[in-house]
Amino acid sequence: MTQALHTPPTTPTPPETHDLAALAARHGLAVSGARPSLPEYIRQLWARRHFITAFATAKLTAQYSQAKLGQVWQVMTPLLNAAVYYFIFGLLLGTSHGVQDYIPFLVTGVFVWTFTQSSIMAGTRAISGNLGLVRALHFPRAALPISFALQQLQQLLFSMAALVVILLCFGIPVAASWVLAIPALVLQFTFNAGVAMVMARMGAKTPDIAQLMPFVLRTWMYASGVMFSISHITSGKDLPSWVTAALQANPAAVYIDLMRFALIDSFHASQLPPHVWAIATGWALLAGVGGFIYFWKAEETYGRG
């Protein structure tokens, strides 16, 4: 009598790799650390606006916590820089010739330039210098470069108190045009935050960029009319048209000149480049929107590797 052959029951085969995504979606699972959509990313960032402001304020408070003079250095640092530039450029090189109210002109340029310079430098290290925070907590990484730009804006507002005193001491009266400083600062902050986000992404991938940036920023400063009047340099000299256009459209120079026009009554509209508000708005939108999207596209890579 022959025995029937029984085949052992087959075990169910595991789902293939390409089925895992469908399985995860069916059960409401998502990839950890995946980049959200742009509208969702903006919503998450807005939900953490209190964290951004608190983080910026805390960084500003801790910046000079080890110094005996404490927060006084927030004003003293740009003032000392302005004093050095006045000695070198105003007295030794004579760039003050032909510039009315040169000391208010110079101090305004130094303060406004320092805002852009510090925002970009802080943004360059925003991710690479805070890897512990990035790896430990889940939050929109754009909060870091934005908070550093906000920190520098808060520091500039402290410095503006000293600037107002300087303006009054040199006989510059309070005028209605001072209100124009508000939209100028809003546009500059948007520009600074956008560039900070661009540099944060680049610095996260290549930390050595932070060592190069001081040289780039120093070169940019010398081309931004911080210590001299661009309108005096370009007028009456046989410069190529593209050089004049580049100097006038330089975003740092545009924001500096807008602040000078708002605060210093001897700085007239004729010293501003044509369509200056349109140029300032264009730079703010290009850097702010473009920098935000550029940073968002690499969201899932920050803190990895």
What is the per-residue pLDDT across 207-227, written as a single tens digit (0 to 9) for each?
889 999 999 999 999 999 888
Q: Give the model's pLDDT for residue 9.
A: 55
Residue 176: Cβ within 10 Å count: 7
Q: Considering only CA atoms, which of 144, 125, 147 is closest in space to residue 134?
A: 144
Cα(222)–Cα(72) distance, rounded to whole angstroms?
27
Classify residue 4 by its DSSP letter. P
Out of 33-47, 182-196, 272-286, least confident range: 33-47
Share of the chain above pLDDT 90, in %: 47
Q: Give the model's pLDDT for residue 144.
A: 95
Contact 119, 192 (CB under 8 A): yes
Q: Give the model's pLDDT for residue 140.
A: 92
Q: Give the model's pLDDT for residue 69.
A: 59
6: left (phi over 0), alpha (psi -120 to 50) or beta: beta
**Does 45 score more than 90 pLDDT?**
yes
Residue written as tokens 């546009």?
Answer: 187
Q: Give the model's pLDDT for residue 299.
A: 92
pLDDT in tens, 291-305: 999 999 999 999 875
Q: Give the model's pLDDT for residue 27.
A: 55
**Does 12 score more than 60 pLDDT?**
no
**Does 25 score more than 50 pLDDT?**
yes
Contact 175, 265 (CB under 8 A): yes
Residue 273: Cβ within 10 Å count: 19
Classify residue 226 by its DSSP letter. S
Cα(143)–Cα(192) distance, rounded to whole angstroms?
14
56-76 mean pLDDT: 72
Q: Considering only CA atoms, which of 192, 189, 170, 188 is closest in space to residue 267?
A: 170
Q: Give the model's pLDDT for residue 2.
A: 47
Most confident of the ranges 67-71, 160-164, 183-187? 183-187
Cα(299)–Cα(204) distance, rounded to whole angstroms?
11
34-50 mean pLDDT: 92
**Does 111 score more than 50 pLDDT?**
yes
Residue 222: Cβ within 10 Å count: 11
Q: How confident is the model at residue 1 (pLDDT cuts 50, 70, 90)?
A: very low
Q: What is the pTM of this model?
A: 0.84
Sign of the C-alpha dihedral computed for residues 201, 73, 49 and 278 taken in this order: negative
Cα(218)–Cα(114) distance, rounded to whole angstroms?
11
Q: Considering only CA atoms, which of 83, 64, 66 is closest in space to residue 74?
A: 64
Most confident of the ranges 95-99, 155-159, 186-190? 186-190
Cα(99)–Cα(28) distance, rounded to whole angstroms?
66
265-278 mean pLDDT: 89
Q: Considering only CA atoms, which of 274, 269, 259 is closest in space to residue 180?
A: 259
Which residues, other chains included, contact 122 with Cβ-Cβ below 8 Å and sequence gap of 6+? 145, 148, 149, 151, 152, 196
**Does 10 score more than 70 pLDDT?**
no
Q: Give the model's pLDDT for residue 180.
A: 95
Contact 289, 194 (CB under 8 A): yes
